[in-house]
Amino acid sequence: MVAFKTTILQLALLFLSCIDKTEPMLTIDEVNKYSNPSSPIPSPPQKKKNIIYPPTSTTNVIINHDYYTLSYHEKYEQAEWVAYELTKEQIVNYNYKRPYFIQDKKVTTGSADWRNYKNSGYDKGHLCPAADREYNKQAYESTFLTSNVSPQNHEFNSGIWNRLEEKIRYWAVKHDRLYVVTGGVLAPNLKTIGTEKVAVPNYFYKIILEENKGKFRMIAFLLPNAESKKPLYDFVVSVDKIEQMTGIDFFPKLPDEIEQSLEKQTSYKVWSFN
């Protein structure tokens, strides 16, 4: 009997020694949470990494956030460009609660307060869309910094601009990975709103680059800040044209021969507009 008890004790000690005491144990609540299919598990926050093809900055004020990068222009109280990657895996919808807009603490001169937009007649138009960053809550909420918005006509923001954002998400699913640069065309003598004189761009642009196994495709859009029912392809322009209007070199890191060939193109036939 003593020998039997000793054997049982030895087996118990052997079992306990095999347990990794450094591994945290889940509580019952945690088990229930992750076993409940009605509770989606948000993707973990991605580690911060630099954008692959950073544009030049006319102000040398480049702000690196975890989920996008921007170049801030204090004179116009907004970003001259916002750049980010958009992948197929990021196109999800968790229906997060919409947060309040807040100022960007990384802008040392102070990004515009959201109150500049109040009763101005203009929307706080996202540059990096919230729907492009809905794969986790932190990414989603990061798009509600005032450095990531620009005054947009309501019909433009909810109409053709929204249609273009949806089309880019469609392309991201179809082509797996895209690189997006977007912003307003900032120029002298623009209309302003609010006490901080936030400039109202007359035009907005989006540039989309696809890279697949060393091959590149590019398309660019230039849209008036106004309502439009026209098809999106009517607003396709060359990247060269946007560079002339903004003074920004959008893809200086691309090999010159590839950059020059892509940036002069205005063809949209290889992109699906169905």
What's the chain look like in SS3? CHHHHHHHHHHHHHHHHCCCCCCCCCCHHHHHHHHCCCCCCCCCCCCCCCCCCCCCCCCCCEEECCCCEEEEEHHHCEEEEEEEEEEHHHCCCCCCCCCCCECCCCCCCCCCCHHHHCCCCEEEEECCCHHHHCCCHHHHHHCCEHHHEEEEEHHHHHCHHHHHHHHHHHHHHHHCEEEEEEEECCCCCCCEECCCCEECCCEEEEEEEEEECCEEEEEEEEEECCCCCCCHHHHEECHHHHHHHHCCCCCCCCCHHHHHHHHCCCCCCCCCCC
Query: What is the distance, to the nearest Å, from the Cα of residue 128 to the centroid of all Cα atoms in its chain?
Result: 4
Beta 203-212 vs 236-237: how paired, if at all? unpaired
User: Where is the binding site, in residues?
Assistant: 157
Question: Which residue, among 61, 204, 74, has the nearest Cα to 129 in the 3D structure?
Answer: 204
User: Where is the binding site for Mg(2+), in residues?
Assistant: 157
Active site residue 73: no
Catalytic residue among 65, 73, 126, 175: 126
- The letter for the amino acid at 224 is P
Give me the residue label for tokens 């209007």: 245
Q: Is 112 within 8 Å of 104 (Cβ atoms)?
A: no
Residues annotated catalytic, as ranges: 126
